Amino acid sequence: MKSRQGDAISVLQLTDTHLFADEHGTLLGIKTSESFKAVIESVVNQGMHFDFIMVSGDVSQDYSPESYQRFAHMVALLKSHVFFCPGNHDDGPLMYRMFDRLGVDTNKHVICNNWQFVFLNSEVYAMAHGWVQKEELQFLRKCLERYPDLNTVVVVHHLPLLVKSRWLDTQTMHNQDEFNSFISKFPQIKAVVCGHVHQEFDSVINNIRYIATPSTSIQFEPLSHDFALDQKGPGWRYLTLTSQGEIRTEVFRLPPGRFIADHGVSGY
């Protein structure tokens, strides 16, 4: 794949759409198909160029085939190539089976200019926390050894870091030490891009940029000891990746107040 803009690559990240079979399905009071639709409309109205879309998991909230159909039909409005990794609320095998014929690319390895993107699966069946299996790390190793000169972005649902939010940190990537120690051996890895935490996160540790992005549905309150929702609006992110290996990125959100979650709930 070649960037249409020359040297730099632009990517749109969408994450944690949490769609249902029922288009009126709600997650803590928010109709997730409506908030996703509003995000898509805002992206269209922004008119920003992007070479492809990366989706970092939790596409579904109910594991249903209809939720994946809904996602594929909605994201097609953006008329762009779409790649994804599954999240803990997804049925990964179902996604890989369905998405190919629905126009969502199931390739887990993408090369664009002098960058490669590797989409890893961190879902653990029926559990909220994440774990990246040895086979996934071996796949990453193969990509890195085969293309050692390419700058690399790893896309994985669970952020391999704690976010200082006690309840959310119990469902982090549980083998994050193994994962971080593995990726630290490859200086060509520039970033790990994630979903799951439903909040903006951007931190550099050992020369690797760790990025997480707001959900297109509900937002979690940063640094909260117990489960709590944030008033901020649903969001999305653009990343610009330069031929020199630099990353520029910006998060956008819908204005607060348009999609109001039910703050009385104590869990998710």
Q: How far is CA 168 from CA 159, 172, 229, in A?
A: 11, 7, 12
Shortest distance, position 90 Cβ to Fe ion, whole Å: 9
Shortest distance, position 70 Cβ to Fe ion, whole Å: 16
The window from 29-37, 57-65, 122-130, 176-184 that contacts Fe ion (CB under 5 A) reads: 57-65
Return d(Cα 89, Cα 124) in angstroms, integer. 10
Name every residue whose Cβ is closer than 8 Å to that of residue 6 and which is 6 or more positions away in sequence. Answer: none
Which of 209, 214 has the CB closer to Fe ion? 214
Which of 175, 214 has the CB closer to Fe ion? 214
Binding flag, residue 51, Fe ion (CB under 5 A): no
Binder of Fe ion out of 3, 9, 14, 16 (CB under 5 A): 16
The window from 15-23, 101-109, 146-154, 181-189 that contacts Fe ion (CB under 5 A) reads: 15-23
- 93, 137 contact by CB (below 8 A): no
Shortest distance, position 102 Cβ to Fe ion, whole Å: 21
The window from 50-58, 67-75, 135-143, 247-255 that contacts Fe ion (CB under 5 A) reads: 50-58
Token pair belonging to 61: 């909230």
Binder of Fe ion out of 51, 58, 123, 221 (CB under 5 A): 58
Return d(Cα 193, Cα 230) in angstroms, integer. 21
- 19, 27 contact by CB (below 8 A): no
Return d(Cα 153, Cα 156) in angstroms, integer. 10
Which of 90, 136 has the CB closer to Fe ion? 90
Binding flag, residue 90, Fe ion (CB under 5 A): no
Return d(Cα 57, Cα 130) in angstroms, integer. 12
CB atoms within 10 A of CB 249: 18
**Per rule CB under 5 A, count of chain residues that contact Fe ion:** 2
**Residues of the shown chain interacting with Fe ion in the complex, contacts defined by CB under 5 A:** 16, 58
